[in-house]
Structure 1
Amino acid sequence: MALLPDLQPAHLKETPLHSRTVYQGHFLHAQRDTVRLPDGREAVREYIVHPGAVMVIPLLDDGRVVLERQYRYPLHRAMIEFPAGKLDPGEPVLACAQRELWEETGYRAVEWARAGVLHPVISYATECIDIWFARGLTAGSRRLDDGEFLDVLAVTPAELLAACRDGVVTDAKTLTGALWLQNVLRGDWPLTWERVAP
């Protein structure tokens, strides 16, 4: 079934009437809006405003990919995921991808390709994550943020896909990255690579 040509039909639109910040934090803030529904009634929408982020799928010359294992406090467990991080105010997306890859893993890349974008939690957050592939990697020293602790892993794409299938990897962005990786490696989703100074 093909997607309908009109992806933003007017008969589904919710119109904001009032907006109020419920909580303003260092990283996120919570918003409560009153909206007019398509049938004319009003409803309340609560959501998290996020600055945006990047995720990097780093490809090693031997065919493996670079992953991280990091403790995620809200879930009280370590998670396996692709390198990722939030955009700083005014930061270009590619610069953020380069910075996050280097700071978290120590790797720098000479070739980059933007794959697309994902919205991990559309029901309650504005977060969007730009997906980048990186290759021509050179290992170096990491520069983790204060209070940041993580392990750097290298696995084959088959090992990653098995971990996704078996429920070892459950992070939404990494599951999306694994799908993208699988299709890129098969040649179904081609990328446009550009050389970028590391």
Structure 2
Amino acid sequence: MKEFKRINRQIVYKGAILDFCKDDIITPKGHHVKWDFLQHKGAAAVIPVLDDGRIIMVRQWRNAIDRFALEIPAGGRDGENEPTNMCAARELEEETGYKSSRVEFLQTLVPAIAYSGEKIDVYVAFDLEKSHQKFDEDEDISLEIHTIDELMEKIIANEINDAKTVSSLLTYYCKYVKGDCEK
């Protein structure tokens, strides 16, 4: 397969969490094209699993969809050098008020592969210990606790449609609950 070659990336707008860029690309056929690109420092997400197997979810306001959404805890890295497992642990405590002594890597997601470089590393947290929530100034989060079966039903009913949450819960279900999805 022939390669595309980026010859220039210009930051058009620098935002708080995203930079909007214009890329100049040369296609394998020699065409010069311009593509939009959203630059993102990366993020981490975590599925907090209680000792009885139920999962702690967060419900928070999302401006992009103008409503509250039910999601797994997640957040952006404090910088490009922050390890994502540290980011996941921080977000777990900030959003749920729990710490974990056992965090396992689940998957890496690229939620908008056509136009964004954002990557989200997803973890599963076990052996939870109560701590304290530490919300960011723009967060208003409530907690909900559900079984994985209830969450699967919410996905099917389109009550959960956040891509990172859907993908992560389905992967968790296959790997930890069903245990035979690797076949």
Report the TM-score, using the length of structure 2 for normalisation: 0.95
1:171 corresponds to 2:162: yes
Bigger strand share: 2
1:46 to 27, 36, 40: 36
Aligned residues: percent identity?
33
Query: CA 1:115–1:167 in structure 2 vs 1: closer, same or farther (change >3 Å)?
Result: same
In the aligned structure 1, how far is the partner of 2:157 from the partner of 2:100?
Answer: 30
Secondary structure in 2 matching 1:75: coil
1:123 corresponds to 2:123: no
2:26 — aligned with what?
A: 36
In the aligned structure 2, how far is the partner of 1:18 from the partner of 1:125?
Answer: 16
1:99 — aligned with what?
A: 90
After TM superposition, the structure 1 = structure 2 runs for residues 26-175 of structure 1, keeping only pairs within 5 Å, are 26-89=16-79, 90-175=81-166
- Which structure 1 segments of 5+ residues have no match? 1-9, 191-198
In the aligned structure 1, how far is the partner of 2:155 from the partner of 2:15?
Answer: 33
- Tell me the C-alpha RMSD between the 2 structures: 1.2
The amino acid of 1:37's aligned partner reads T
Deviation at 1:179, TM superposition (A): 1.0
The amino acid of 1:22's aligned partner reads V
Q: Please identify runs of 4+ aligned residues in structure 1 that moved more than 2 A.
A: none
In the aligned structure 1, how far is the partner of 2:48 from the partner of 2:155?
Answer: 17
1:7 — aligned with what?
A: none
In the aligned structure 1, how far is the partner of 2:88 from the partner of 2:23?
Answer: 32
Secondary structure in 2 matching 1:183: helix
Deviation at 1:147, TM superposition (A): 2.1
1:23 — aligned with what?
A: 13
How many residues were matched structurally? 180
In the aligned structure 1, how far is the partner of 2:4 from the partner of 2:50?
Answer: 45
In the aligned structure 1, how far is the partner of 2:4 from the partner of 2:61?
Answer: 37
Secondary structure in 1 matching 2:36: strand
In the aligned structure 2, how far is the partner of 1:72 from the partner of 1:169?
Answer: 13
Deviations 1:139-181 (A, max 9, x none): 2220001121111111000000000000000000000011111
Report the TM-score, using the length of structure 1 for normalisation: 0.88
- Which structure 2 segments of 5+ residues have no match? none
Contact 2:73 2:95 in 1 (8 A): yes
Deviation at 1:188, TM superposition (A): 2.8
2:180 — aligned with what?
A: 188
Deviation at 1:189, TM superposition (A): 5.7
